[in-house]
Structures are given as C-alpha cells and as structure tokens.
Homo-oligomer: A and B are copies of this chain.
Amino acid sequence: MTLLDPVPETARSVGGAYDDVAEDIELRTPSGSGSNRERGADRGRSTARGRRLPRHARRMQLLGAARDVFVAQGYHAAAMDDIAERAGVSKPVLYQHFPGKLELYLALLDQHTQELVGRVEEALASSHDNLRRIERSVGAYFDFVDDEGGAYLLVFESDLRSEPEVRRRVEQSLQACVDAITRTIAADTGVNEDEAELLSVGLCGLAEVGARWWLGSGGTVSKERAVELLVSLAWRGIAGSPRRSVPDSGFAR
C-alpha cells in the first residue's frame, strides 16, 4: 500500500536549504524485514540508508517525507512507520526530531498555512488596483492548490480538526486571509467592519472551493480561465455575467 509516487526527494522537498544533501536515498523493500537482512558482509556499504545527515538537514528531509505521507493518506491513516520508511530512516530517528506524531503534523501544518497566507498577502500588496488584487488573490488560492505535493490538503481537508491545535491553526489561516482582504479591499465599501469582513469571507470561500473544485475537475477549464470566471463573479456578480440572448422573455430579472 504505497500510494505514493516513487520518491520525489530530488525536488526541493520542504525548505530549500540542506535539501540537496539528502539525495539518492533508497526505500527498502517494505516486507524485507528479518528475511534478507544483510549482515557483516556488505555492511559498511551503508545500504544507502545509513547516510548520516546533519541534524537540520535530516529534519528537513523528515518533514518532506511526512508531508508526502500525510498528504497521500491523511493524518490518521499515516503511520509513523510509513513516514520513517519514506524518509529512509528508522522510527527512533523520527522521535529524535519530533516528540510525537502530532507535533510533526503541526510543524508541517504551520509551514503550509503560512505559505497560503503569505501568497494572499503578497497578492494583495502587489497592486493598488482592487480588481487586480482580487485577481491575484484568487490566483494565489489556485496556485496554492495547484502546487506540487498537494500540501493544500493539509490546510483545506485536514482530518484531525478534532484536535484543538489543528483547528486553531486552520481557522487562523482563513482568518488571516480574511483580515488581509478586509483591510485592503473592503476598506472603501460602505458597510461596517463586521459586514466587510463577511464579504471577505465570501471571497475566500469562493476562491478556496473554486480552486479545489477546479483541481479535481481534471483540466476541462484552464487555470487562467477559471480564475477569470471566478473573479468576474466576485467583481460584477451574477447579475453582471454575460447573458446569452434569451428569446423567450426576460425571466431572469
């Protein structure tokens, strides 16, 4: 039950630093425990598994492996054995870097919520034109979702929302996006603070669900066109959508 691509690991796995150190690791055959253990003989050839890594490099590599496994299987279905195996290390190593499964997950979650919020804030800061800002913000959601690794699943579809710390982080990431939009976009609408915030929430919801749906719809619509359509909806509304000529009377108000 691998369920994962062979082992990307060549690509920048998580942070970008120290990543090149951990190439050419190799997964052992999953069932090869106890039967064909190499003893003495080709020990010292290091089986490509016993590569010693500096602490930080190992940590980064573990985070990458954990991301792959958590994304592919979800928190609960992912076993620490799977992550260790994916990383090409044994379980104790994992526990030398993270106190437990939850902490590992939280570290990962923090990474990716920050990435989303960062993208949105960047999009909002990239222009003074509000339509442009909307376009770029929705685009940020799409890019986030479309990013290699599928880490968006950790933020948008995390199981483990029963865990308060996870829930807090997920909700906080939405709230951060909402606040950013509220501050920069809705500042000049005539509604009060709470109501401007609600509009921003609507926008985030539109972007999030739209992006996820687009990703799962298998490329029948290009990303650019999808963003354009959603932005059109957000900007001009349904009433402003282009109507096809309706011969049989105005029924659409």
Q: Give the interface of A toward B (CB within 8 A).
A: 73-77, 128-131, 134, 157-162, 171, 174, 178, 185-186, 188-191, 194-195, 198-199, 201-210, 213-214, 216-217, 220-221, 225-226, 229-230, 233-244, 246, 251-253
Contacts of A241 on B, CB cut-off 8 Å? Answer: 186, 189-191, 199
The residue on B at minimum CB distance from A167 is: B157
Q: Quote the shortest CB–CB distance from A9 to chain B (angstroms).
A: 23
C-alpha gap A182/B118 in the complex (Å): 33
Whether B213 pairs with A209 at a CB distance below 8 angstroms is no
Chain B hits for A201, CB < 8 A:
209-210, 213-214
Q: Shortest 3 CB-CB distances between A and B: which pairs?
A: A205-B209, A237-B237, A159-B159
How many Å from the CB of A131 to the closest CB on chain B? 6
Known A77-B162, A201-B213, A206-B209; further 14 A-B contacts with Cβ < 8 A: A159-B160, A171-B216, A178-B213, A185-B238, A188-B251, A189-B242, A190-B241, A190-B244, A194-B220, A194-B221, A202-B206, A202-B233, A203-B206, A237-B239
Q: Are B208 and A209 in contact (CB under 8 A)?
A: yes
Q: Which residues of B contact A217 (CB under 8 A)?
A: 194
Count copies of this chain in the complex: 2
| B198 adjacent to A210 (CB under 8 Å) | yes
A202 in contact with B191 given A161-B74, A240-B236 (CB within 8 Å): no
Contact A234 B202 (CB under 8 A): yes
Q: How far is the CA of A71 from the CA of B251 in the complex (A)?
A: 42
Q: How far is the CB of A2 from chain B (nearest CB, A)?
A: 15
A235→B238 CA distance, assembly (Å):
5
In the bound complex, how far is the Cα of B241 from the Cα of A134, in angstroms? 14
Contact (Cβ within 8 A) B225 A234 = no
A198 touches B237 (CB 8 A): no
**Nearest-CB distance from A205 to chain B (Å)?**
3
State A240–B130 Cα separation when bound (angstroms): 13
Distance (whole angstroms) from the CB of A125 to the closest CB of chain B? 15
